[in-house]
């Protein structure tokens, strides 16, 4: 994106002034030569149609080259990012050779593309300069002929030859700018692909804020009624799915991996929209809204996986609440059972997290994420297997203190572990293209199956 924007800006800044000056010098030379001898002007522009046609052909080829270049560049970026992120994994599995091989392959691809493009450009340059030379000699010969016939003076001939050269020069100057214009056209296209993505609508923002405020006293419910959802047409994750989470409840979504737990949480967050049915959030006995980007302010969400950023622990906490005091951070860390290890660090909450939190264990990172979500202080908390790396006792303490601090809080957890189920008011099983509430017996059966 950055590179593309630079390309477009650069083209606008260099192309426009260049076109203006080139047109002025072209027009001036053309008028002078035309006034003295229209034939001479015609000969000087003899190469123009050829140059024009070749430049059209090369424009098309350049477009292809540019596309290949950009594809290779993005492959390379993805490769770099993935490799560095998974470095430990790659080393642990002794995959260095294979990764190096892939690196060489990508490198070879970019060399091939660059070589092909260079070859093409060089041969085009040679061809156009040969045409230019031929036309130049034609002009020179014509002028010498007129001089020999006594039509023009020696001085006029010199003027002709130099004007004709300037005419040709400015014409090919304009054509020479074409590759740059083409490249930036492609860049502009790519930028527009991003800027034309649909935007999150925030039209219900005020109502959503009002519901959130009221939720501080009476809580917020999340209802999903008769929902059909598929990422791709006809491939239903589930149909006619319903579940209800009321204020003060802990509701669990259980089910085997890949059946739609995370999907359900994404639907609740308004990140996707159901094909049928509705998902609503609202105050009991009060207003309600359909889940959308506006209603996201009611949730604090702890996704699956690592969400630590570089900076100190306190910096990470203040991401969701910039004006949080040290006391507020301390109490959030304590509620998430994170204070017990943060306290022992040499700089306490001012300890550097380091890149992606490498200095902490998975369970510690999860507790920090939970502390951050608690600090955000939203009426509904969503945890996507966010306690999976904690031991059972700590998991219970964390979940209990989430509810204890805020009795109206609604908590929705996606989980595998039976330890969580015992604390929940309702347990829903996600699987077999359905969502159904299960009782203790059902939970036992679920656990037996897996």
Point out which residues bind Mg ion (CB under 5 A): 261-262
Dist. CA 358–CA 369, nearest whole Å: 14
Tell me phi and psi for residue 346, to 5 degrees: -60, -35
- The reply on whether position 258 binds ligand ADP by CB under 6 A is yes
Question: According to the binding rule CB under 6 A, does residue 262 interact with ligand ADP?
Answer: yes
Q: Sign of dihedral through CA atoms 435, 441, 444, 448?
A: negative
- Retrieve residue 239's tokens: 């149909």
DSSP string, 289-351: EESSSGGGGGEEEE-SS----SSBHHHHHHTT-TT--HHHHHHHHHHTT-HHHHTTSTTGGGS
Of 2, 35, 88, 257, which one interacts with ligand ADP (CB under 6 A)? 257
Buried b (16+ CB within 10 A) or exposed e, 335-366: bbbbbeebeeeeebbeeebeeebeebeebbbb
* Residue 132 or 255 having the CB closest to Mg ion: 255
What is the three-class DSSP state of 224?
strand
Work out what residue 260 binds among Mg ion, ligand ADP, none; the CB cut-off runs from 5 to 8 Å by kind.
Answer: ligand ADP
Pairing of strands 380-384, 236-245: unpaired
Q: How far is the CB of 66 from ligand ADP (least distance, A)?
A: 30
Instruction: State which residue, 306 or 401, has the beta carbon closest to ligand ADP.
Output: 306
Judged by CB under 6 A, the residue of 168, 261, 318, 416 near ligand ADP is 261
Nearer to ligand ADP, 229 or 339 (CB): 229
Q: Smallest distance, Å, CB 226 to Mg ion?
A: 23
Residue among 245, 215, 237, 242 at smallest CA distance from 227:
242
Stretch that binds ligand ADP, among 112-120, 253-261, 280-288, 294-302 (CB under 6 A): 253-261
27 binds, among ligand ADP, Mg ion, none (CB under 5 to 8 A by kind): none
Q: Token pair of 286, please?
A: 């009060």
Angle at which helices 154-176 and 48-85 cross, to 10°: 30
Examine residue 263 and tell whether it contacts ligand ADP (CB under 6 A).
Answer: yes
260 binding ligand ADP? (CB under 6 A): yes
Q: What is the nearest approach in angstroms of ligand ADP to the Cβ of residue 259? A: 5
- 306: its two tokens: 């690592």
Q: What backbone torsions phi and psi does residue 250 show, to the nearest 5 degrees?
A: -105, 120
Pick one of Mg ion, ligand ADP, none as the site partner of residue 237 (Cβ within 5 to 8 A by kind): ligand ADP
Closest distance between ligand ADP and the C-beta of residue 257, in Å? Answer: 4
The entry of ligand ADP, Mg ion, none that residue 41 binds, CB within 5 to 8 Å by partner kind: none
258 binds, among ligand ADP, Mg ion, none (CB under 5 to 8 A by kind): ligand ADP
CA–CA gap between residue 223 and residue 281 (Å, rounded): 6
* Six-digit token string for 47: 């190469």
215 touches which of Mg ion, ligand ADP, none (CB within 5 to 8 A by kind)? none
**C-beta of 23 vs 231, nearer to ligand ADP:** 231
Q: Which residues pair with 435 in a beta bridge?
A: 430
Stretch that binds ligand ADP, among 111-119, 137-145, 256-264, 293-301 (CB under 6 A): 256-264
Site string for ligand ADP, 233-252 (x = CB under 6 A): ----x---------------
* Minimum distance of ligand ADP from residue 414's CB (angstroms): 6
Site of interaction with ligand ADP (CB under 6 A): 231, 237, 255, 257-263
């Amino acid at each position: 994106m950055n590179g593309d924007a630079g390309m477009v800006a650069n083209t606008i800044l260099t192309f426009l002034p260049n076109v203006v000056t080139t047109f002025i010098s072209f027009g001036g030379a053309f008028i002078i030569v035309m006034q003295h001898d229209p034939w001479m002007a015609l000969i000087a522009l003899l190469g123009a149609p050829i140059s024009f046609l070749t430049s059209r052909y090369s424009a098309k080829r350049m477009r292809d080259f540019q596309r290949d270049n950009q594809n290779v560049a993005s492959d390379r970026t993805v490769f770099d990012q993935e490799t560095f992120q998974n470095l430990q994994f790659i080393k642990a599995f002794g995959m260095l050779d294979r990764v190096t091989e892939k690196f060489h392959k990508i490198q070879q691809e970019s060399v091939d593309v660059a070589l092909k493009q260079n070859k093409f450009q060089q041969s085009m340059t040679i061809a156009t300069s040969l045409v230019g030379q031929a036309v130049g000699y034609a002009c020179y010969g014509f002028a010498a002929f007129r001089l020999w016939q006594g039509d023009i003076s020696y001085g006029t001939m010199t003027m002709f030859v130099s004007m004709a050269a300037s005419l040709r020069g400015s014409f090919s100057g304009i054509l020479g700018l074409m590759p740059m214009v083409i490249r930036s056209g492609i860049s502009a296209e790519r930028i527009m692909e991003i800027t034309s993505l649909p935007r999150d609508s925030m039209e219900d923002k005020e109502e959503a804020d009002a519901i959130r405020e009221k939720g501080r006293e009476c809580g917020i419910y999340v209802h999903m009624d008769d929902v059909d959802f598929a990422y791709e047409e006809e491939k239903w994750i589930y149909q006619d799915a319903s579940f209800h989470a009321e204020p003060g409840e802990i509701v669990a979504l259980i089910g085997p991996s890949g059946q739609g737990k995370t999907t359900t949480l994404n639907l609740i967050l308004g990140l996707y929209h159901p094909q049928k049915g509705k998902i609503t959030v609202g105050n009991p006995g009060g207003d309600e809204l359909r889940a959308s980007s506006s209603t996201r302010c009611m949730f604090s969400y702890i996704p699956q996986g690592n969400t630590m950023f570089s900076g100190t622990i306190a910096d990470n906490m203040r991401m969701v609440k910039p004006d949080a005091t040290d006391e507020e951070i301390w109490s959030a860390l304590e509620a998430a059972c994170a204070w017990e290890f943060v306290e022992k660090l040499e700089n306490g909450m001012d300890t550097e997290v380091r890149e992606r939190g490498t200095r902490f264990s998975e369970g510690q990172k999860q507790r920090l994420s939970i502390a951050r979500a608690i600090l955000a202080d939203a009426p509904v908390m969503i945890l996507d297997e966010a306690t999976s790396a904690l031991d059972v006792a700590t998991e219970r303490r964390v979940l209990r203190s989430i509810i204890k601090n805020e009795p109206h809080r609604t908590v929705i957890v996606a989980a595998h572990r039976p330890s969580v189920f015992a604390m929940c008011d309702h347990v829903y099983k996600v699987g077999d293209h359905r969502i159904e509430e299960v009782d203790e017996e059902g939970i036992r059966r679920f656990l037996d199956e897996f």
